[in-house]
Amino acid sequence: MAEGMEAHGWAARDASGHLSPFNFSRRVQRDGDVTIKVLFCGLCHTDLHVIKNEWGNAMYPLVPGHEVVGVVTDVASGVTKFKAGDTVGVGYFVDSCRTCESCSKGYESYCPQLVQTSNGIDLLDGSTTQGGFSDVLIVSQGYVVRVPETLSLDGAAPLLCAGITVFSPMVQYGLNAPGKHLGVVGLGGLGHMGVKFGKAFGMTVTVISTSPDKREEALDRLGADAFLVSRDPEQMKAAASTMDGIIDTVSAEHPVEALLELLKPMGQMVIVGLPAKPLEVPAFSLVAGGKRVAGSGGGGIAECQAMLDFAGEHGITADVEVVGMDYVNTAIQRLERNDVRYRFVVDVAGSNLGVSD
Ligand SMILES: *[C@@H]1O[C@H](CO)[C@@H](O)[C@H](O)[C@H]1NC(C)=O
Ligand SMILES: [Zn+2]
Ligand SMILES: [Zn+2]
Q: What is the CATH number of the domain that holds 213?
A: 3.40.50.720
Residues 11 and 157 in one domain: yes
Residues 54 and 121 in one domain: yes
Q: What is the mean pLDDT of the chain?
A: 96
Residues 156 and 175 in one domain: no
Residues 69 and 181 in one domain: no
Q: How far is the CA of 46 from the centre of ligand 2 (A)?
A: 5
Q: How far apart are CA 26 and CA 5, in angstroms?
A: 5
Other Cβ atoms within 10 Å of 317 Cβ, number:
21
Cβ distance 8 to 134 under 8 Å? yes
User: Looking at residue 43, what DSSP letter applies?
Assistant: E
Q: Based on the structure, what is the number of domains in the chain? A: 2
Which bound ligand lies closest to the C-alpha atom of 356? Answer: 1
**Each residue of 112-160: pLDDT tens digit?**
999 999 999 999 999 999 999 999 999 999 999 999 999 999 999 999 9
Q: Which atom of ligand 1 is nearest to the CA of 20?
A: 13
Q: How far apart are CA 130 and CA 120, in angstroms?
A: 8
- Predicted confidence band of residue 4 (pLDDT cuts 50, 70, 90): confident
Which CATH number does the domain housing residue 15 bear? Answer: 3.90.180.10
Helices 301-314 and 189-200, axial angle in degrees (round to 10)? 70
- Predicted confidence band of residue 1 (pLDDT cuts 50, 70, 90): very low
- 96 domain residue, yes or no: yes
Residues 137 and 215 in one domain: no
Q: What is the pLDDT of residue 43?
A: 98
Residues 60 and 209 in one domain: no
Question: 354: Cβ below 6 Å to ligand 1?
Answer: yes
Question: 23: Cβ below 6 Å to ligand 1?
Answer: yes
- 44 domain residue, yes or no: yes
Residues 119 and 28 in one domain: yes
Q: What is the pLDDT of residue 63?
A: 98
Cα 220–Cα 221–Cα 222 angle in degrees, nearest 5: 100
Residues 120 and 186 in one domain: no
Q: How far apart are CA 67 and CA 40, in angstroms?
A: 8
Residues 11 and 98 in one domain: yes
Q: What percent of the chain has pLDDT over 70?
A: 99
Compute the average pLDDT of residues 20-39: 97
- 302 domain residue, yes or no: no
- 247 domain residue, yes or no: yes
Q: How far apart are CA 211 and CA 189, in angstroms?
A: 15
pTM above 0.85, yes or no: yes
Residues 120 and 59 in one domain: yes
- 306 domain residue, yes or no: no
Helices 162-172 and 301-314, axial angle in degrees (round to 10)? 100
Residues 118 and 198 in one domain: no
- 136 domain residue, yes or no: yes
- 30 domain residue, yes or no: yes
Q: Which atom of ligand 1 is nearest to the CA of 8?
A: 1
Give me the domain span that covers residue 225.
162-295
> If you take atom 6 of ligand 1, which residue's CA is the nearest one?
354
- 25 domain residue, yes or no: yes
Q: What is the pLDDT of residue 2?
A: 57
Residues 14 and 118 in one domain: yes
Compute the average pLDDT of residues 245-274: 96
